[in-house]
Structure formats: C-alpha cells, structure tokens
Amino acid sequence: MANDRDPHWACLKGCFEQHPERIARSTSRYRFAKGQLEELLRLLDGRCMVCLSCHAMIVDTATRTAERKQRGVLCLWCKDRVAGYEGSYGDGRPLASMCRCKTGDAVEWGERISAATAQYLNRTALLQIHRENADRMAALIADVSTRGADPHQVWGGAPVADLPQLPVREVAPEPAYREVEPLARPRCSNECREHPEHVYFACFQEPTELRDSDVDGIAVRHYVGWTRQHPPIQRVGQHGATCRESLVGIIPGTTADEESVKAKESCPKCGKPLEYRPRKMRPGKS
C-alpha cells in the first residue's frame, strides 16, 4: 500500500522518522538501552508493527497494567485498534478497521487487519516474561530480525484461512444474581471488586442530610444508591462519613434494582420502608 506522494502523508502529528527527538524521549521514558529503539525502527523500515504501512508513531504499552510494559511500535490507528480490542472503550465493540493506510480497493482488509492485530498481540505477549523494558526490547529486536516484520505474511499474500485469529473477547457472563430479589442476595464486602455494579443502602438514627445525593438539602432516614465505582465503599463515603457509618449493606445490582429497592423494600435493620424520597421526587410523580 505504498503511496507515491509524500511518504509522511499519513503521519498527521508526526512519526518517529520525522521527529527523531521522540526516539530519545521514548528511550529515556521507557528505559530502553541506547540504540534499541533505532534498531527496531530500522528493522521495521520505520513502520507500524500491525499495518506495516503507516509509520510508527508511538511506543505501545500493555493496557490495564500499572507499569509501562512496552510491547512494540504502532501508528495511532493501530494503537486505537489494539486499545479498543482490549476493552478501553467498553466491551463488545467490533474491531476498529480504520487505518490511514487503508485504500478503497483494499482486498480482504477486515480479515487482514484483524490477523495483523492478532499477530502483533501474540508476538508481543511473549515479551512479557522479561521484567525490564530493555530486556523486552532486546527480545523483540531478536524476534523481528529472525522472523521478520510479518512472519505470517499477513500483508504478503498468505491465504486468509492460514492467518492468525484474534481470540474472541470474553463477554462477561450474565450475572446469576439477577434471578434473586435484591435484598435476598448475599451481601458484598465494602471492597468488593467481583461485581461490575452495586446497590448500597443506609439507615440513619435520625434524619440526615447527605452530600452528592438525589435528595440534596433534604434530611432523610434512609438512603439507597447505585455505583460502578470500585471499591463500592468509596462511593458511599462521598455522601459523607455518616453514610459510611450507617451503611446497612452492599449488594450486586443494577439501576433497576436500585429503583425497586427504593420503591418496594423495607429496611432490613429497622423494618421501615426504604423509600426516602419525598413523594414529588419519586419517578412517575411530578
């Protein structure tokens, strides 16, 4: 997919080749040994390790890890593709197929960009046994110099059927707790990270005003909230220390569960209705 015009036509904000000073900056930022990044870029002819057509613009690091574990070098479109595949923009999204180097007549583009992404993730996964980026980089350089930039010939005409496949992303199973009435569910710990969302409820000794609630400025005897924050106790604390101290329980649940708890359930602690909102603030009343 060579382009006869400006070789940097796709590079927008710039690539390593256009901005050699970025090589030095990345080298110190990721603690590569001197000359490693230059060597990798030389082996790749300055190209992105996925599409092999756009110029490499950034050092890619594994997402969802605290440290900056370097993988390879990518263009911005392929970086976005990899991040999307790994769930950075939510689960269940189709693999982004956009690339600056994609031309209108690209044959089997979708299959090949997907296979190239798989090839990239497979080969860089092998680097993760090394602890330091300089060691990862040395292993990557050795791999690219022996097997080449495109070992499976994704862009070299190998039949699509022979290309690496991206593993199907795991979609979180429908939680079993849905079958059970909210207050009959097992309570979660304050620190629970097992469930994606939680409903929590508090029972106060006397009418209490909460911060950051749906009844700001009104003193209430109970409070029921929903959160996606982890740990859930963090969200509870945002209403104030009293809410934390008066917490009765945290359960796994959705916003629909939150609403049904507010509207229908009684407080397991004092037995009074959990509905704390003034009548005019309840859904369906106006």
99 makes contact with Zn ion (CB under 5 A): yes
- Considering only residues 27, 36, 53, 208, which one is a binding residue for Zn ion as defined by CB under 5 A? 53
- Considering only residues 40, 41, 54, 82, which one is a binding residue for Zn ion as defined by CB under 5 A? 54
Q: Please tell me the distance from the alpha carbon of residue 68 to that of residue 241, in angstroms, as a whole number.
A: 36
Using CB under 5 A, count the residues that bind Zn ion.
23
185 makes contact with Zn ion (CB under 5 A): no
Q: Please tell me the distance from the alpha carbon of residue 53 to that of residue 169, in angstroms, as a whole number.
A: 26
Which amino acid makes up residue 167? P
CB of 31 to Zn ion, least distance (A): 24
55 makes contact with Zn ion (CB under 5 A): yes
51 makes contact with Zn ion (CB under 5 A): yes
Backbone torsions φ then ψ of 116, nearest 5 degrees:
-65, -35
- Are 207 and 219 spatial neighbours (Cβ–Cβ below 8 Å)? yes
- Considering only residues 78, 183, 220, 233, which one is a binding residue for Zn ion as defined by CB under 5 A? 78
101 makes contact with Zn ion (CB under 5 A): yes
Return the range that interacts with Zn ion (CB under 5 A); candidates 101-109, 124-132, 172-180, 212-220.
101-109
Token pair of 4 as six digits: 């006869």
Residue 74 exposed, middle or buried by CB count within 10 Å (0-12, 13-18, 19+): buried
Backbone torsions φ then ψ of 24, nearest 5 degrees:
-65, -40
- Are 17 and 84 spatial neighbours (Cβ–Cβ below 8 Å)? no
Residue 89 exposed, middle or buried by CB count within 10 Å (0-12, 13-18, 19+): exposed
In the stretch 104-143, what mask flags binding to Zn ion with x, by CB under 5 A? ----------------------------------------
252 makes contact with Zn ion (CB under 5 A): yes
73 makes contact with Zn ion (CB under 5 A): no
Token pair of 21 as six digits: 């000073």
- Considering only residues 195, 235, 239, 262, which one is a binding residue for Zn ion as defined by CB under 5 A? 195
Q: Note the residues at the interface with Zn ion (CB under 5 A).
A: 8, 11, 15, 17, 48, 50-51, 53-55, 75, 78, 99, 101, 188, 192, 194-195, 203, 252, 267, 269-270
